[in-house]
A and B are shown apart, each in its own frame.
Chain A
Amino acid sequence: MLSIKNLSVAAQGKQILKGLNLDVPAGEVHAIMGPNGSGKSTLSQVLAGRDGYEILSGTVTYQGRDLLALSPEERAREGVFLAFQYPVEIAGVNNVYLLKAALNAIRKHRGEPEVDAFEFLALVREKMAVMQMSEAFLSRGVNEGFSGGEKKRNEILQMMILEPKLALLDETDSGLDIDALKIVSQGVNSLRSPERSMVLVTHYQRLLDYIEPDRVHVLADGKIIKSGDRNLALELEKRGYDWVKQEAAAA
C-alpha cells in the first residue's frame, strides 16, 4: 500500500527526516511513536502534501504510484486521508457542505455519480451516531467553536464517510479524555479492513490499548530506528526512548 524509501525532508533549511524507510502493507495498522521533535508530524504532513517542505531525497510509493508527484487534492481523491493533529476552524464553510463536497470529489474521481442528498444525510446520521456527535454540528462552520475533543471526533467522522484506503492519524489521541478516546477508537476500529491501511502517529501507547497495531515503529531524529510488534509500545511506555536510541547508536 505505502512504501517509503530513504526519505529525507527539510523545512526552512533544517533537515527533519533523514533517510526514513517504512512499508505499510494493505490491511495493516502501523503505529509510529517517538519523542517530541523526531519528525512524526512532518512525516504525516509530507504524506498529505502540505507545501513548505523540501524533499531532499527518497521516494514515496502509494499503490504503485509516486505519491509525492500528486497535489493534496489528488492524494485525497486517490484515497489518502490525514486526520489532523490540529484540525483547522473555517468559519463560513459549512461542515456538512464540506463533507458532501469532499465525498463528491472522490466519487467524481472514481467516475461515480454524485451522492444522492437523501442517502448522504442518512449516511452522515449513521456515522454521527457512532461518533456520538449531535446533529447541531452539521449546521456549524467547519470545526467552528468545536472543543479539542469535538474536532478530533469530527476528523474521524470525515474519515468514516470518505472511507480512505490509507488513513494517517496524526496524534488523534492528544487532548482526548478517556471517554472520547474510546469513541474515537471505536470509529477507527470500525474502519479496519483488509483493503485499508492505517498509520497512527502517537506519543503515547494509551491509544494502542484501544486500537491494536500490527506493527510499531520508533521514529527518532528523522528515521525509523526500531520496529516491532505491540509489545514494543508497551516496553517504550515502561522504559522511555533512550534505550532504543542507544541501541540504534551502538548498531
Chain B
Amino acid sequence: MSAAPLPSLHPALERLRTLNAARGGQSRPVALAQKAALEQFLALGLPTTRDEPWKYTSLRRFESRTLALPEAATAVDATVEPRLLVGDWQRITFVNGRHAPAQSSALSAVAGLQLRTLASVMQEAPQEAVALLGTHDVTPSARFDLVNRAFVDDGIVIDVSAGTVLSQPLYLVFESSGSGQATLTTPRVIVRAGANAKLTLIEHHVSAERAEHCVAAVTHLSLADGAHVEHYRLRQEGAQVIHLGSVSAEVSRSARYLSHTLSLGGTLSRLDLAIRLAGSGASCELNGVFLADGTQHTDTHSCIEHAVPQTRSSQDYRGLADGKGRGVFNGKVVVHKDAQKTDARQSSRNLLLSNSAEIDTRPELEIYADDVKCSHGATTGQLDAAALFYLRSRGIAEDEARGLLALAFVETVLKDMSVESVRDHVSGIFRRNFLKTQVPTR
C-alpha cells in the first residue's frame, strides 16, 4: 500500500482503500479518475444515521462485511436462470459485474442503436470513459455512486440516435453468483436517448440465494428533447445481498421518463432515484413496490427536481413489511424558483403484515415557485379487517385471504407496467410469495 492510512479512517473504509489498491490494468486516465473518486468517498466518510438522507438506514451491515474483488465472469449460477424474464429481446448479461458474452445477445448494431461495454470504452477510449464515470459531485443521498466510480470496470453504454424507436425492450441482466465469496460488484449503465428516441429498458438485478455480494450499481440516463424511456429496475436478490444502487435521469424538453422499480430480497438495500426535469414539458412517472421480509431492510429515496416551468411528475410507491422487516420511503420534490406551472404528485402507501414490521415514509417538499400544484399522501396501515372477513365468509382460508389482499395492494401499481411479461413476472413473484399455490391471473 502506498498511501498511509488516515488515523481516523473507519475500518470498512480502510478495507475499501486496500481493495481499490489491489486492482490493476486500468489505463492511466481511468485509474486517476477512479483514485480521485475513492479519495473523495473516503474523505466524505460513510453516511451515518445522523445524516438526514440516511436517518432510517444504518450501514452497519455494510460496514461489517469484508469484501473481495469480483472474480472473472464465472458460469451462470443454475439457480439464477429460472428467475429471469423470458422474452424475445436483446439480452445483455453481466455476471458479478462483468459482461458475459456467452449469456448475451451479440452487441451487433441495430440501426440507430449503439451498444458498447464500458470495459471496451475504458480500454479503447479512456478519455470518454472518464467522462462517463462522471466528475460531478454526488449528493449525500447517492454517496455510493462514488464507490461505483472508484471500482467500476464494466457495464454498458447505450446510445440511441435521434428519432430511433426501438420496438423491443433491451434486457440487462446483472447476476451475482453464489460462489461463497462476498465481493463488491459495481456495474454501471449509461443510457443516452437522442431527440424523440424511444426505448424500453429492463434492468434486472438477480442473485443466487447464497450470494453475499455487495452491489453498488449506478444507472444514468439522459433523455434529449422529446425522448421517451420506460425503465424497469427489478431487484430480486438473495437474503444476504447488500445493494446500494442509484438511478439518475436528466429529462429534457417534452421528454418523458417512466420508472418502475421492484425491490425484493437482500439484507440491506437502498435505491436512490434522482430525476431532473430540465426542459419545459418534461415529465416523469415513477412507481414501485418494495417488500421487506425477515430482518431485511429496504430503503427507497426519490428526488425529483422541477428545474424549469411546465413540468410534471407523479410518484406512486407501495411498501410492504413482514416479519421484522423494515421499509423506508422518502420522496423529495424540489420546485425551483422559476418552475411555475409545476404539477407534482406523490403517493406512498404502505402495508404492515406483522406487528414487528416497520415502515417509515416521509414526503419532503421544497417549493420555491408560487404557481404550482403539488400533492402528497402517505399512509401506513394493516390489512383491512372488513375485507379479510368478507373473503373468509366466502370460504377463503385466512392465509389465502391475507395473501390475496397483500397481492391486491401490489397489483394496483403493477397495472402501470406496460410490458406484459414483466407485469406477469412481478405479479407471479408476489403470488408465490403471498399465496401458497400458484393461482391463475384471473
Give the nearest-CB partner of A93 in chain B. Answer: B408
Is there an interface contact between A87 and B393, defined as CB atoms closer than 8 Å?
no
Residues of A within 8 A of B389 (CB): 48-51, 72, 88
B404 at the interface (CB under 8 A from A): yes
> Considering the chains assembled together, what is the distance between the CA atoms of A92 and B384 in angstroms?
13
Residues of A within 8 A of B86 (CB): none
Decide: A90 and B394 in contact? CB cutoff 8 A: no
Residues on A with C-beta less than 8 A from B109 are none
Q: Which residues of A contact B397 (CB under 8 A)?
A: 73, 105
Cβ–Cβ contact A94 & B442, under 8 A? yes
Task: Please indicate the chain A residues that have their CB under 8 angstroms from the CB of B390 in the complex.
Answer: 84, 87-88, 90, 142
Number of interface residues of A (CB under 8 A): 32
Residues facing B in A48-97 (CB within 8 A) are 48-51, 71-73, 75-77, 81-82, 84, 87-88, 90-94, 96-97
Provide the residues of chain A in CB contact with B410, threshold 8 Å: 92
Q: Is A207 part of the contact surface with B, judged by Cβ < 8 Å? A: no
Q: Is B285 an interface residue (CB 8 A)?
A: no
Q: B-side binding surface: helix, strand, loop or mixed?
A: helix
Q: Is A109 an interface residue (CB 8 A)?
A: yes
For the complex, give the distance between the alpha carbons of A98 and B390 in Å.
Answer: 11
Residue from the list A73, A93, A94, A109 in contact with B398, Cβ < 8 A: A73
The yes or no answer to B387 lying at the interface (CB within 8 A) is yes
Question: Does B111 sit at the interface, judged by CB under 8 A?
Answer: no
Q: Nearest-CB distance from B119 to chain A (Å)? A: 44
Select from chain B the residue with minimum beta-carbon distance to A52.
B385
Chain B residue numbers with a CB within 8 Å of A93 are: 391, 404-405, 407-408
Indicate the member of A71, A91, A93, A96 with the most B CB atoms within 10 Å.
A93
A19 contacts B by Cβ under 8 Å = no
Cα A142 to Cα B397 in complex, Å, equals 17
B408 touches A77 (CB 8 A): no
Give Cα A97 to B412, complex, Å. Answer: 16
A94-B442, A96-B442, A141-B408 known; A77+B395 contact, CB < 8 A = yes
B392 touches A102 (CB 8 A): no
Query: Which residues A96-120 have CB closer than 8 A to chain B?
Result: 96-98, 101-102, 105-106, 109
The B61-93 residues at the A interface (CB cut-off 8 A) are none
In whole Å, how far is A82's beta carbon from the nearest beta carbon of chain B?
5
Checking B386, B392, B394, B412 against A91 with a beta-carbon cut-off of 8 angstroms, the contacting residue is B412
- Chain B residues whose CB sits within 8 angstroms of the CB of A141 once the complex forms: 408
Is the C-beta of B419 less than 8 angstroms from some C-beta in chain A? no
Is B398 a contact partner of A102 (Cβ separation < 8 A)?
no
Q: Give the shortest distance, in Å, between B137 (CB) and chain A (any CB).
A: 42
Q: How far is the CA of A71 from the CA of B410 in the complex (A)?
A: 27
Task: Tell me if B395 and A76 are in contact (CB < 8 A).
Answer: yes
What distance in Å separates the Cβ of B60 from its nearest Cβ neighbour in chain A?
A: 36
Contact at B405–A90, with CB atoms within 8 Å? yes
B405 contacts A48, C-beta separation under 8 Å:
no
Which of B396, B405, B408 contacts A102 (CB under 8 A)?
Answer: B396
When each residue 404-442 of chain B gets 1 if its CB lies under 8 Å from chain A and 0 otherwise, what string results? 110111111000000000000000000000000001101
Return the 6 tightest CB-CB contacts between A and B, nearest first: A92-B408, A105-B395, A76-B395, A102-B394, A72-B392, A88-B390
Interface residues of A (CB under 8 A from B): 48-51, 71-73, 75-77, 81-82, 84, 87-88, 90-94, 96-98, 101-102, 105-106, 109, 141-142, 158, 162
Q: Given A91-B408, A102-B396, 5 other A-B contacts at CB below 8 A?
A: A76-B393, A90-B384, A90-B391, A92-B409, A162-B395
Q: Pick 25 A–B contacts, CB within 8 A, sort by A.
A: A49-B392, A50-B393, A71-B392, A72-B389, A72-B392, A72-B393, A73-B393, A73-B397, A84-B390, A84-B393, A90-B405, A91-B408, A91-B412, A92-B409, A92-B411, A93-B391, A93-B404, A96-B442, A97-B440, A101-B395, A101-B396, A102-B396, A105-B397, A142-B390, A158-B394
